[in-house]
Amino acid sequence: MISVIKAIILGVVQGLTEFLPVSSSGHLVLFQSFLNIGGNSFFLDVMLHFGTLIAVALFFREDIWKLIKVVPLLFCVSRYRESLRENSYFHLLCLIIIGTIPTLIIGLAFKELFKSLFQSPLIISFTLALTGLMLFSADRVKKTTRKMKEMTFGESFLIGVAQGLAITPGISRSGSTISTALWRRISPEDAGRFSFLLSLPAILGANLLEAKDVWGQVPAGELKVIAIGTLVAFLSGLAALKLLMFMLQKQRLRYFAYYCWSVSVLGLLLFSLGYL
């Protein structure tokens, strides 16, 4: 049975780490192992991700609404070809669709492999160190003003590959996609915006698939506790989004790298002492 306190702790962890580039999945595995949470924790993971999904949808609601409005244009490209070339949100929609393709392929092809890694705090300690290295490298790229509308479809596909590989626990999804965009000289603000807008179809699809598989396995008595954790994940997720966008503007990703390395060392220490 998951206690309210444990659900709140995991909700805070999920909300903060889903958007801050420090790997929410890695932190959840380490905290679940340390708090000795088993059984239906996988469904709790799904619902915590759902809470942060709502947070990012609310935070970027204006961009999402403009993307929704250009969806019909996908079916009449020939008629409005000239105007579409100047429509930045139609271009952004195409970038998101193309970036989602490799994420979908990687997720479906290696689903069981990635799921098995969730049982290994040791592996996650090493992958967190890799996330830190990625962030530190991206932070050293000279800041540019290149916008999303200048991003190519090839670059979008490459960022989608980074997002797909970030299914690996300990590899930050936002960290890998933002770092890849920064390496391609996209401005920090637009790197963050594209990373989170690209995450929406992937997170939504994963939540629907996983919820379908585990919903009937959850005791009714735990639904209230899980709902509390989901709400906490939503609120802390909003706070994390604001913090990350600020840190991107100030070009301070290296601080997240230092944090990832610290957690990696702590994880290895706790594992060696038998606490994980």
Distance between CA 146 and CA 188 in Å, rounded? 9
Calculate what percentage of the chain has a pLDDT beyond 70. Answer: 84
Least confident of 29-38, 85-94, 140-149, 257-266: 29-38
Per domain, the residue ranges of the chain are 4-272
Question: Exposure of 230 by Cβ count < 10 A (0-12 exposed, 13-18 middle, 19+ buried)?
Answer: buried
Chain-wide mean pLDDT for the chain? 84
3-state helix/strand/coil string of 20-78: CCCCHHHHHHHHHHHHCCCCCHHHHHHHHHHHHHHHHHHHCHHHHHHHHHHHHHHHCCC
What are the DSSP calls for 220-258, one per residue? HHHHHHHHHHHHHHHHHHHHHHHHHHHHHHTT-THHHHH
CB-CB contact of 15 with 234 (8 Å) = yes
Distance between CA 32 and CA 7 in Å, rounded? 10
Confidence at 84, pLDDT banded by 50, 70, 90: low
Confidence at 99, pLDDT banded by 50, 70, 90: very high
pLDDT at 159: 97
